[in-house]
Amino acid sequence: MLWAIEMLALAGLGVSVELTRIYYLVWRNPDYSPACNLTAQVSCSSVALSRYSAFIIGIPNSVLGIAFYFVLLALIPFRLGTRVRIFAHLENYLALLSIGSFGFTVFLGSISTFVLKTLCPWCTALYVLNTAGTALIFLSLDRPGEVARQLREDFQLMRTDPRYLGALLAAVVLVMVLLVIQLNRYFQPPTISALGSGKTPVEVDVSRDPVLGPPQAPVTIIEFSDFQCPFCREMHSVLKDMRKLFGPRLRVIYKNFPLDGDCNPAVKVSAHPQSCQLAYAAECAYQSGCFENFYDKLIQAEAYSEGSLLQIAMDCGIDPNKFQACMNSDVPRKAVARDIEDALKVGIKGTPMLMVNGRVIQGSRSEKEMEAIIKAALKGQNSAVKK
């Protein structure tokens, strides 16, 4: 039975490797369509592009599958071909491991069926292999009373032989270290590296800025914008279309660079004398959790009075008292000042200015130009986003 589990693990490893290959190709190349894309409802790409494809700390699910099957492939031969006492009851611990694997299988299968409503053929094959493997592992166990005796025997063995206890502690420490590294990478403030005006790399902090799109998107665009700038209005429309076209492959981060000397020390003559107030209003909308809708309305607005801004906020469902309190506070002013500082570090020459995975692009671009730029970024033809 253990040899049968070994054969299932080998098949699972192969499927996991193929799913990992598809995952990275789909995320990097919008034109790639794997053979398992049969219909709109039977598609590997749709599942790979969903936010559930890398559910645990941003690690692709298929990579976790590779690790799981590799452990099975490595340990079972020790159970079958060695007299080392610690491996004598290995199936008991494989059963514990398989419980977690089976639970994750049920979770992902439910997401695919009821949330995404899309069938991934290779994923389904993996679900079947996981279920069959779990069943075989439990069938390989002895009776419950015998399993309890074996666990007591193994516990006593670890107490009397420091080698086994040391190996267990080393494994636990290794897992904890890897977990801490992953958590640190996941929760650290995201930055994007770009070439500044002096052609030296600078770090732009994007941890406190409005973001539209998933954090794992392979292409990140930062837009430095002015709400009274007509070219920014055109760029806003282009970026909305790009988000529709590229879906979860693209995230857009918004930063302010108002061409108004009231808040921007780099502006000597205010080209847009109300743009500081508009930037403050957008920041307050972001603080209220209603940035995208507010941004869409504000970028198209013709009137910029205090009453007009308050009405836009109310139309977006923002509490008028909280919005007004935010406008009178230092919160939006500090946020706009940080954006201006970042723009000056990078070497802004006007609005809009874009940073595509760290590559600085001055001025507005057409839809065709932006599509080509994003496709090039997906293929790794410019600087990468760091997180």
Q: Residue 362: which H helix or E strand, with range?
A: strand 359-362
Q: Count CB neighbours of 280 within 10 A.
A: 23
Helices 275-287 and 306-315: crossing angle, nearest 10°?
Answer: 30
Say if residue 8's pLDDT is above 50: yes
Instruction: Check pLDDT > 90 for residue 382.
Output: no
Q: Residues 190-195: what's their mean pLDDT?
A: 52
Helix (H) or strand (E) segment spanning residue 87:
none
Only one residue has tokens 């695919």, namely 112
pLDDT for 195 beyond 60 = no
* Tokens, residue 295: 């941004």
Per-residue pLDDT tens over the stretch 270-317: 888 899 999 999 999 999 988 889 998 988 888 888 899 999 999 999
Q: Bigger pLDDT: 385 or 340?
A: 340
Q: What is the DSSP string of 339-360?
A: HHHHHHHHT--SSSEEEETTEE
> Tens digit of pLDDT for each residue in 318-334?
999 999 999 999 999 99
- For residue 386, what pLDDT band results from cuts at 50, 70 and 90? very low
One-letter amino acid at 83 equals: R
Q: What is the dihedral of CA 106, 107, 108, 114, to 10 degrees?
A: 100
Model confidence pLDDT, tens digit, residues 83-104: 667 677 788 888 888 898 899 9
Phi, psi of 256, deg, nearest 5: -100, 140
CA 162 to chain centre: 42
Per the model's pLDDT, the better-predicted residue between 333 and 3 turns out to be 333
Nearest CA among 369, 362, 367 for reference residue 244: 367
d(CA 383, CA 139): 52
Contacts of 202 (CB under 8 A, 6+ apart): 193, 194, 195, 196, 345, 346
Mean pLDDT, range 108-116, rounded to an integer: 90
What does the domain layout of the chain look like in residue ranges? 2-141, 191-378
What percent of the chain stands above pLDDT 90?
40
Please give the share of the chain, as a percent, with pLDDT higher than 70: 89
Helix (H) or strand (E) holding 191, with range, is strand 191-195
Alpha helices in 212-305 (DSSP H): 230-246, 275-287, 291-300
CA 9 – CA 69 distance, rounded (Å): 5
The mean per-residue pLDDT over the stretch 160-184 comes to: 70
CATH class of 2-141: mainly alpha
pLDDT of residue 77 exceeding 70, the answer is yes
Q: Of 226 and 166, which is predicted with more confidence? A: 226
- Asked if pLDDT for residue 129 goes beyond 90, the answer is yes
Hey, what amino acid is at 51? R
Query: What is the bridge-based pairing of β-strands 250-256 and 219-225?
Result: parallel
DSSP state of 22: H
Angle at 45 between CA 39 and CA 50, to 5 degrees: 115
Q: How far is CA 63 from CA 14, 56, 164, 186, in A?
A: 11, 11, 28, 17
- What three-state secondary structure class fits 190? coil
Residues 330-348 have a mean pLDDT of 92
What pLDDT, on the 0 to 100 scale, is given for residue 350? Answer: 87
Two tokens, residue 145: 């009373």
Span 2-31, average pLDDT: 89
The predicted pLDDT at position 168 comes to 67
Confidence of residue 383 (pLDDT cuts 50, 70, 90): very low
Q: Do domains 2-141 and 191-378 have the same CATH topology?
A: no
**CATH architecture, range 191-378:** 3-Layer(aba) Sandwich (3.40)
Average pLDDT value for the chain = 85
Q: At what angle do helices 306-315 and 291-300 cross, to 10 degrees?
A: 140
Residue (of 99, 79, 82, 100) closest to 91 by Cα position? 79
Q: How far apart are CA 150 and CA 157, in angstroms?
A: 10
Q: Which residues contact 21 (CB under 8 A, 6 or more apart)?
A: none
Maximum mean pLDDT: which of 125-134, 140-149, 165-174, 198-207: 125-134
Please report the pLDDT score of residue 192 as a whole number: 52
